[in-house]
Amino acid sequence: MSEINFDTIEMAKIDTKAPAFEMSYYDAEKDTDWNISSEDLKGKWYVLFYYPADFTFVCPTELKDLADVKSQLDEMKVEVLPVSTDTVFTHKGWVKAEGLLKDFKYKMLADHNGEYADLYNVLDLNTHLAGRGTFIVDPDGILRGLDITSGAQGRNSAELIRKIQGLQFMRENPTMACPARWTPGATTLTPGIDLVGKVAEAM
Protein backbone atom coordinates (compact mmCIF):
# COMPACT_ATOMS: atom_id res chain seq x y z
CA MET A 1 0.00 0.00 0.00
CA SER A 2 1.23 3.47 -0.83
CA GLU A 3 1.89 6.11 1.83
CA ILE A 4 -0.83 8.70 2.49
CA ASN A 5 0.32 11.89 4.16
CA PHE A 6 -2.31 12.51 6.82
CA ASP A 7 -0.85 15.94 7.58
CA THR A 8 -2.05 17.20 4.20
CA ILE A 9 -5.56 15.70 4.35
CA GLU A 10 -8.46 17.81 5.59
CA MET A 11 -11.36 16.47 7.62
CA ALA A 12 -14.49 15.36 5.78
CA LYS A 13 -16.68 18.32 4.83
CA ILE A 14 -19.80 18.33 2.69
CA ASP A 15 -19.42 19.42 -0.97
CA THR A 16 -15.62 19.25 -0.81
CA LYS A 17 -13.14 16.58 -1.83
CA ALA A 18 -13.64 13.47 0.30
CA PRO A 19 -10.55 12.49 2.30
CA ALA A 20 -8.39 10.03 0.37
CA PHE A 21 -8.07 6.53 1.77
CA GLU A 22 -6.31 3.24 1.18
CA MET A 23 -7.34 0.19 3.21
CA SER A 24 -7.26 -3.57 3.15
CA TYR A 25 -10.58 -5.35 2.73
CA TYR A 26 -12.18 -8.75 3.08
CA ASP A 27 -14.29 -9.72 0.07
CA ALA A 28 -17.13 -11.68 1.63
CA GLU A 29 -18.35 -12.94 -1.75
CA LYS A 30 -14.99 -14.28 -2.95
CA ASP A 31 -13.55 -15.11 0.49
CA THR A 32 -10.35 -13.22 -0.33
CA ASP A 33 -8.59 -10.09 0.94
CA TRP A 34 -6.88 -7.28 -0.94
CA ASN A 35 -6.44 -3.50 -0.89
CA ILE A 36 -8.64 -0.70 -2.18
CA SER A 37 -8.18 3.08 -2.36
CA SER A 38 -10.22 6.13 -3.22
CA GLU A 39 -8.14 6.32 -6.41
CA ASP A 40 -9.59 2.95 -7.47
CA LEU A 41 -13.09 4.41 -7.16
CA LYS A 42 -12.57 7.48 -9.35
CA GLY A 43 -15.50 7.98 -11.70
CA LYS A 44 -17.87 5.97 -9.49
CA TRP A 45 -20.48 6.71 -6.88
CA TYR A 46 -19.49 5.04 -3.63
CA VAL A 47 -20.53 4.97 0.02
CA LEU A 48 -18.29 4.51 3.04
CA PHE A 49 -20.61 2.81 5.52
CA TYR A 50 -18.88 3.01 8.92
CA TYR A 51 -20.20 0.83 11.72
CA PRO A 52 -18.87 0.28 15.28
CA ALA A 53 -17.63 -3.31 15.31
CA ASP A 54 -17.89 -6.90 14.17
CA PHE A 55 -19.55 -9.40 16.54
CA THR A 56 -21.95 -6.80 17.89
CA PHE A 57 -25.72 -6.52 17.87
CA VAL A 58 -27.24 -3.77 15.71
CA CYS A 59 -24.41 -3.89 13.14
CA PRO A 60 -25.34 -7.25 11.58
CA THR A 61 -28.93 -6.05 11.13
CA GLU A 62 -27.62 -3.01 9.23
CA LEU A 63 -25.40 -5.12 6.99
CA LYS A 64 -28.24 -7.59 6.35
CA ASP A 65 -30.37 -4.61 5.34
CA LEU A 66 -27.64 -3.54 2.89
CA ALA A 67 -27.37 -7.09 1.53
CA ASP A 68 -31.10 -7.10 0.78
CA VAL A 69 -30.76 -4.07 -1.54
CA LYS A 70 -27.42 -4.87 -3.18
CA SER A 71 -28.96 -5.62 -6.57
CA GLN A 72 -30.69 -2.22 -6.57
CA LEU A 73 -27.46 -0.45 -5.61
CA ASP A 74 -25.64 -2.34 -8.35
CA GLU A 75 -28.24 -1.15 -10.88
CA MET A 76 -27.62 2.42 -9.67
CA LYS A 77 -23.87 1.82 -10.16
CA VAL A 78 -23.13 2.55 -6.50
CA GLU A 79 -20.44 0.68 -4.58
CA VAL A 80 -21.13 0.45 -0.86
CA LEU A 81 -18.12 -0.29 1.34
CA PRO A 82 -18.85 -1.30 4.95
CA VAL A 83 -15.98 -0.17 7.21
CA SER A 84 -15.01 -0.70 10.85
CA THR A 85 -11.81 -0.62 12.89
CA ASP A 86 -11.68 -4.42 12.91
CA THR A 87 -9.17 -6.44 10.87
CA VAL A 88 -9.89 -8.38 7.69
CA PHE A 89 -9.49 -11.56 9.75
CA THR A 90 -12.21 -10.50 12.18
CA HIS A 91 -14.43 -9.56 9.23
CA LYS A 92 -14.06 -13.06 7.83
CA GLY A 93 -14.72 -14.74 11.17
CA TRP A 94 -17.84 -12.66 11.71
CA VAL A 95 -19.27 -13.33 8.26
CA LYS A 96 -18.73 -17.07 8.73
CA ALA A 97 -20.29 -17.07 12.21
CA GLU A 98 -23.24 -14.66 11.92
CA GLY A 99 -26.38 -16.07 10.33
CA LEU A 100 -27.60 -12.65 9.23
CA LEU A 101 -24.50 -12.33 7.04
CA LYS A 102 -25.08 -15.53 5.10
CA ASP A 103 -24.51 -14.80 1.38
CA PHE A 104 -23.14 -11.34 2.23
CA LYS A 105 -21.47 -9.99 -0.95
CA TYR A 106 -19.77 -6.72 -0.02
CA LYS A 107 -16.13 -5.75 0.37
CA MET A 108 -15.58 -5.05 4.08
CA LEU A 109 -12.86 -2.46 4.70
CA ALA A 110 -10.50 -2.65 7.67
CA ASP A 111 -9.61 0.77 9.11
CA HIS A 112 -7.75 -0.99 11.91
CA ASN A 113 -5.71 2.01 13.07
CA GLY A 114 -8.68 4.36 12.85
CA GLU A 115 -6.88 7.03 10.79
CA TYR A 116 -9.67 7.35 8.26
CA ALA A 117 -12.46 7.10 10.83
CA ASP A 118 -10.77 10.08 12.50
CA LEU A 119 -10.66 12.03 9.22
CA TYR A 120 -14.35 11.31 8.72
CA ASN A 121 -15.02 12.40 12.32
CA VAL A 122 -16.56 9.13 13.51
CA LEU A 123 -13.72 7.75 15.65
CA ASP A 124 -14.32 7.39 19.40
CA LEU A 125 -10.87 8.02 20.88
CA ASN A 126 -11.78 6.21 24.12
CA THR A 127 -13.00 2.95 22.60
CA HIS A 128 -11.19 3.14 19.25
CA LEU A 129 -14.48 2.21 17.61
CA ALA A 130 -16.15 4.06 14.76
CA GLY A 131 -19.61 5.53 15.01
CA ARG A 132 -22.39 4.92 12.49
CA GLY A 133 -21.33 7.19 9.65
CA THR A 134 -22.65 7.13 6.09
CA PHE A 135 -20.62 9.06 3.51
CA ILE A 136 -21.82 9.35 -0.09
CA VAL A 137 -19.14 10.31 -2.63
CA ASP A 138 -19.83 11.26 -6.25
CA PRO A 139 -17.79 10.27 -9.35
CA ASP A 140 -15.66 13.42 -8.97
CA GLY A 141 -14.63 12.38 -5.46
CA ILE A 142 -16.80 15.06 -3.82
CA LEU A 143 -18.55 14.24 -0.55
CA ARG A 144 -22.26 14.75 -1.31
CA GLY A 145 -23.90 13.04 1.65
CA LEU A 146 -22.81 12.94 5.29
CA ASP A 147 -24.92 11.30 7.98
CA ILE A 148 -23.71 10.31 11.46
CA THR A 149 -26.09 8.45 13.76
CA SER A 150 -25.65 8.27 17.52
CA GLY A 151 -25.61 5.12 19.58
CA ALA A 152 -27.37 1.87 18.81
CA GLN A 153 -29.97 3.08 16.31
CA GLY A 154 -29.76 1.10 13.07
CA ARG A 155 -29.91 2.81 9.70
CA ASN A 156 -32.37 2.26 6.85
CA SER A 157 -31.05 1.26 3.41
CA ALA A 158 -34.25 2.49 1.75
CA GLU A 159 -33.44 6.02 2.91
CA LEU A 160 -29.84 5.67 1.72
CA ILE A 161 -31.10 4.68 -1.72
CA ARG A 162 -33.57 7.60 -1.77
CA LYS A 163 -30.78 10.05 -0.94
CA ILE A 164 -28.50 8.67 -3.65
CA GLN A 165 -31.33 8.78 -6.19
CA GLY A 166 -31.81 12.47 -5.40
CA LEU A 167 -28.09 13.22 -5.60
CA GLN A 168 -27.78 11.39 -8.90
CA PHE A 169 -30.80 13.24 -10.29
CA MET A 170 -29.38 16.63 -9.27
CA ARG A 171 -25.98 15.76 -10.78
CA GLU A 172 -27.73 15.09 -14.09
CA ASN A 173 -30.07 18.09 -13.70
CA PRO A 174 -28.01 20.80 -11.98
CA THR A 175 -30.68 23.52 -12.33
CA MET A 176 -33.31 21.49 -10.47
CA ALA A 177 -33.91 20.65 -6.81
CA CYS A 178 -35.59 17.75 -5.01
CA PRO A 179 -38.11 18.69 -2.31
CA ALA A 180 -38.67 16.78 0.92
CA ARG A 181 -39.39 13.05 0.54
CA TRP A 182 -38.65 13.22 -3.19
CA THR A 183 -38.51 9.93 -5.07
CA PRO A 184 -37.84 9.35 -8.78
CA GLY A 185 -40.75 10.58 -10.92
CA ALA A 186 -42.06 12.99 -8.27
CA THR A 187 -42.31 16.75 -8.70
CA THR A 188 -39.05 18.70 -8.70
CA LEU A 189 -38.41 22.42 -8.26
CA THR A 190 -36.51 24.91 -10.39
CA PRO A 191 -35.11 27.52 -7.98
CA GLY A 192 -35.38 31.14 -9.08
CA ILE A 193 -36.86 34.49 -8.15
CA ASP A 194 -40.23 33.51 -9.64
CA LEU A 195 -40.51 30.59 -7.21
CA VAL A 196 -40.08 32.68 -4.06
CA GLY A 197 -43.24 32.45 -1.96
CA LYS A 198 -44.90 30.17 -4.54
CA VAL A 199 -43.53 26.74 -3.71
CA ALA A 200 -47.00 25.47 -2.73
CA GLU A 201 -48.29 26.24 -6.22
CA ALA A 202 -45.28 24.54 -7.82
CA MET A 203 -45.91 21.42 -5.77
Do residues 198 and 135 both lie within one domain? no
**pTM attached to this predicted model:** 0.93
Domain that holds residue 96: 6-172
Task: Give the catalytic positions in this structure.
Answer: 59
- Digit-by-digit pLDDT tens for the chain (203 residues) are 455 555 556 889 999 999 999 999 999 999 999 999 999 999 999 999 999 999 999 999 999 999 999 999 999 999 999 999 999 999 999 999 999 999 999 999 999 999 999 999 999 999 999 999 999 999 999 999 999 998 899 999 999 999 999 999 999 999 999 999 999 999 998 898 887 887 888 88
Write the CA distances from 83 to 17, 100, 146, 192, integer angstroms.
19, 17, 15, 40
DSSP secondary structure code for residue 194 in this structure = G
Determine contact, residues 48/37, Cβ cutoff 8 Å: no
Same domain, 113 and 181: no
Which of 158, 149, 88 lies closest to 122 in space, CA to CA? Answer: 149
The answer on 106 and 159 residing in a single domain is yes
Q: Are 139 and 42 in contact (CB under 8 A)?
A: yes
Beta bridge partners of 107: 27
Residue 118 lies in a domain: yes
Whether 1 maps to a domain, the answer reads no
